[in-house]
């Protein structure tokens, strides 16, 4: 259950008491405010607050670049220009604050994106809930034989059942011991800051994560990619849906130039030109490494 009854009651109360404002409002984002979007089995993403919209991006760009933007006839065209030419500051004019509930091992990947403000639930002061991420059967896969960071074939039958049983049993056993260490009848329990070290990496934690749109797009470009680990990708894809409603022009440009685009090296550009000219180009005469050539062929053939 992603939300407790108390949390849902708080959300209902907040959404039932709108307040007038003079600031810029994104109607698409207003629909997401406070609402919990479920991710994985017990996780969630919800918007706590935001600042700015598509107009805030173009407003900042026109102040910054002055007459240089006069040739761009509309906001959508200007935003596409900014995205295409890797301008960053105008996108930093928009910010969003999320409440995220996620497994600890996902949080440890996520925190690598250091260009955000984070405040995490403290297991030094509070007791973590008995909630663990257990993969759905279709996401339970063996180690890839070609990618040290990836997954291979999905486990099936007895092997899948065995692994799922181990995950559940180990998580429950560790939490049982966590509770026992915290409070023992007739004795003083272990400090929370020490007892927490026995919990597994699939236990759920929570945090508030505030980030500007430029750095959020960087996060999404990496984590919504098909090669990202499924668990963090599930969160990124949920956030993509929210951002699409918040800043539709900016998200469309991001989707076109970043998620759906590809950056070529100088060698890649040269190889593509040679191929278009009818020349037979191979990895050996392209100047690319085997890994680079595989990625080039995957897109360009």
Under DSSP, the state recorded for 184 is B
- Are residues 228 and 161 both part of a single domain? no
Host H or E run for residue 216? helix 213-223
Please tell me the predicted confidence (pLDDT) of residue 227. 87
Residues 162, 191, single domain; the answer is: yes
Range of weakest confidence among 26-40, 151-165, 264-278: 151-165
pLDDT band at residue 7 under the 50/70/90 scheme: confident
Give the pLDDT band of residue 64 (cuts 50, 70, 90).
low
Cβ–Cβ < 8 Å for 29, 47: yes
Give the C-alpha distances (Å, rounded to integers) separating 54 from 158, 217, 281.
52, 14, 43
Q: What is the CA radius of gyration of the chain?
A: 24
Q: Does 169 lie in the same domain as 210?
A: no
Same domain (yes/no): 2, 108: yes
pLDDT tens-digit series, residues 80-90? 999 999 999 99
Q: Does the pLDDT of residue 62 top 90, yes or no? A: no
pLDDT in the model for residue 244 = 97
Q: How many CB atoms lie within 10 A of CB 42?
A: 19
Residue 33: which of 6, 20, 15, 19 has the closest Cα? Answer: 15
pTM for the model stands at: 0.88
Which of 155, 174, 200 is at the close of a domain? 200
pLDDT in tens, 178-198: 998 887 666 778 888 898 999
Please give the Cα distance from 274 to 267 (Å, whole number): 11
CATH number of the CATH domain containing 39:
3.30.1360.170
Per-residue confidence (pLDDT) for residue 176, from 0 to 100 = 93
Q: Which two tokens stand for residue 135?
A: 């993969």
**Domain coverage including residue 55:** 1-133+202-261
State the chain's mean pLDDT as an integer.
89
Query: What amino acid positions are annotated as catalytic residues?
Result: 223
Tell me how many domains the chain contains: 3
Residues 50 and 179 in one domain: no
Residues 297 and 169 in one domain: no
Which residues, in sequence order, are CB contacts of 56 under 8 Å at separation 6+?
24, 93, 94
Beta partners for 97? 49, 210
Q: Is 120 exposed, middle or buried (0-12, 13-18, 19+ CB in 10 A)?
A: middle
């Amino acid at each position: 259950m992603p939300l407790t009854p108390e949390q849902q009651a708080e959300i209902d109360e907040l959404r039932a008491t709108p307040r007038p404002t003079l600031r810029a409002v994104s109607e698409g984002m207003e629909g997401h405010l406070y609402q919990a979007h479920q991710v994985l089995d017990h996780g969630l993403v919800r918007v706590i607050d935001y600042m700015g919209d598509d107009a805030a991006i173009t407003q900042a760009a026109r102040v910054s670049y002055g007459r240089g933007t006069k040739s761009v006839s509309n906001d959508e065209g200007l935003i596409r220009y900014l995205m295409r030419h890797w301008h960053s500051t105008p996108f930093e004019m928009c910010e969003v604050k999320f409440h995220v509930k996620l497994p600890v091992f996902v949080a440890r990947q996520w925190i690598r994106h250091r260009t955000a403000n984070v405040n995490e639930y403290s297991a030094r002061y509070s007791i973590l809930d008995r909630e663990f991420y257990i993969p759905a059967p279709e996401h339970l896969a063996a180690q890839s034989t070609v990618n040290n960071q990836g997954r291979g074939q999905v486990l099936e039958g007895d092997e899948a059942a065995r692994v799922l049983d181990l995950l559940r049993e180990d998580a429950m056993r560790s939490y049982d011991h966590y509770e026992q260490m915290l409070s023992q009848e007739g004795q003083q329990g272990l400090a929370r800051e020490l007892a927490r070290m026995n919990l597994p990496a699939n236990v759920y934690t929570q945090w508030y994560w505030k980030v500007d749109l430029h750095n959020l797009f960087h996060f999404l470009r990496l984590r919504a990619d098909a090669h990202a680990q499924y668990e963090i990708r599930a969160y990124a894809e949920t956030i993509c849906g929210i951002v699409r409603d918040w800043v539709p022009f900016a998200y469309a440009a991001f989707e076109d130039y970043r998620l759906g685009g590809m950056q070529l090296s100088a060698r890649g550009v040269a190889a593509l030109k040679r191929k278009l000219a009818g020349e037979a180009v191979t990895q050996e005469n392209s100047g690319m490494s085997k890994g680079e050539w595989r990625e080039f062929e995957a897109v360009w053939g």
